[in-house]
Amino acid sequence: MSEKAPTIDQREIQRLVLEYQYLRQLLDTITQQIRLLNANRAELIKTKETLEAIKSTRKDTEALVPIGTGVHLYVTLHNVESVLVEIGHRYLMECDINKAEEYINKRIQEVDETLKKLQRDGANVSKRLSEITPLLQRYLGGQGSQNVQ
């Protein structure tokens, strides 16, 4: 005997459609946040590498410093023991290279923790979407099921 799928009422189908739409939007947002955090992490890693390079640089060494959008400036490094670290919007703190590295390492760790959480959240949302999708395809049949993927 063939087994029939249990029927659900129209309200439940509408609820599933709304949940599906919400979860798709949420997954898109999570994906965008992950992309932004990965870019931020790459910038932090580059900063960390630059700080490490400065530690082995002698005073009065010439260097190229990026000032934005592919533009670099020739500079002479007069102080290689300390740097200015942005600690808030338009707030700078002078600290030695080692303290700056600690600060950057802490920020990398915070970004990594946030990335892990977002990846877990994204996996949970994807799992729920994979549960809802076949139900909607089954109950919507031909009407609009092409929108459920």
**pLDDT, tens digit, for every residue of 133-147?**
999 999 887 555 445
Number of domains in the chain: 1
**C-alpha span between 24 and 137 (Å, rounded):** 15
71-77 and 82-88 as β-strands: parallel, antiparallel, unpaired? unpaired
In a domain, 123, yes or no: yes
**pLDDT score for 148:** 56
In a domain, 129, yes or no: yes
In a domain, 145, yes or no: no
**C-alpha span between 57 and 49 (Å, rounded):** 13
In a domain, 78, yes or no: yes
In a domain, 57, yes or no: yes
CB burial of residue 134 (10 Å; 0-12, 13-18, 19+)? exposed
**pLDDT score for 142:** 58
In a domain, 2, yes or no: no
| Cβ neighbours for 146, distance < 8 A, ≥ 6 positions apart | none
**pLDDT score for 145:** 46
**C-alpha span between 89 and 112 (Å, rounded):** 22
In a domain, 87, yes or no: yes
Q: 88: how many CB neighbours lie within 10 A of its CB?
A: 7
- All residue ranges of the chain with pLDDT < 50 are 1, 145-146
Tell me the C-alpha to C-alpha distance, in Å, between residue 38 and each of 22, 56, 96, 111. Answer: 24, 28, 27, 8
- We report the CATH number of the domain holding residue 99 as 1.10.287.370
Q: At what angle do helices 97-140 and 10-55 cross, to 10 degrees?
A: 160
Task: Look up tokens 């990026």; give the residue.
Answer: 66
Its pTM stands at: 0.79
For residues 42 and 107, the answer to whether their CB atoms sit within 8 Å is no
For 7-90, where are the E strands, in sequence order? 61-68, 71-77, 82-88
Domain that holds residue 37: 10-139
In a domain, 124, yes or no: yes
**pLDDT score for 87:** 86
**pLDDT score for 139:** 86
